[in-house]
Amino acid sequence: MDAKKDNKDTSLAYYEGILANKWKIKKPSGSSLLRFLKELSKCGLPSHAAKKVRIPLILFLKEREENPNFALAWEAAMEHAIDALELEARRRAVEGIEVPVFYKGEQVATKREYSDQLLMFLLKGRRKQVFAGDEGQAIGGKVEIIINCNVPEPKWEIAQRLQKKVQIAEKKRVLEEGKNAD
C-alpha cells in the first residue's frame, strides 16, 4: 500500500481548493481581481489581501499563473507595497519617532529617537558597493562624508552617527587587510 495515498494533503492550498469548490467559485471576477490588487498594494501580503476580498488565495494564484496581465499587475502592486515600507523605514531612520519619557510611572516628556539600524539597511540596499561587504562591513577605498553645517540639527546628528559608523568600518577593513597580509 502506498503511504502517499494514506496521507491527506493538509496544505493551505488544499483547504482553499475545497472552499472554492464549496462556494462554486471557478475564477475571480474582474472586480474581485481589482479589489485584490488594491488590497495587495496596501499590505504586500497576498494571503491578507485575499482574506479582505473574501476569496481563497489559491484562485488568485491560479489566475496569476494563467493571466500574464494579472501577473504584471500583481508585481506592480507588490512593488507599490514595498515602496511604502521603504518610505516608512526612511522616515523612521531620518526623521525619527517620538518616544515617551517616563519618570516615576508618569509621562514627563517625549524624545525623538532615530533608527541607525534602519538607516544602515537602507544604505546597504542602495549603496551595496560602499556599505555591504562579505560580512556586512564596508569595502573598497576610503569613504568620506562631507558634512554641510547648514543642515538642520536632526540630520546633522544622523550624519555624525553615520560618519562614526563609516570610520569604524574603515578601521575594521584596515585591520582585516593587515591580518590577511601576514
Give the start-to-end residue ranges of the domains of the chain: 9-89, 96-181
In this prediction, residue 56 carries a pLDDT of 86
No. of H helices and E strands in the chain?
A: 9, 2
Q: If DSSP codes are grouped into helix, strand and coil, which group holds residue 98?
A: strand
Q: Where are the beta strands (DSSP E) in 2-127?
A: 97-103, 106-113
Print pLDDT tens along the chain (182 aa): 444 444 555 555 555 555 555 555 667 788 889 999 999 999 999 999 999 998 888 889 888 998 899 999 999 999 999 999 888 988 988 888 888 988 888 889 888 888 888 888 888 887 777 776 655 454 444 444 444 444 445 555 666 677 777 778 778 877 877 777 66
pTM to 2 decimal places: 0.54
Angle, helix 30-43 to helix 46-53, in steps of 10 degrees: 130
pLDDT at site 24:
58
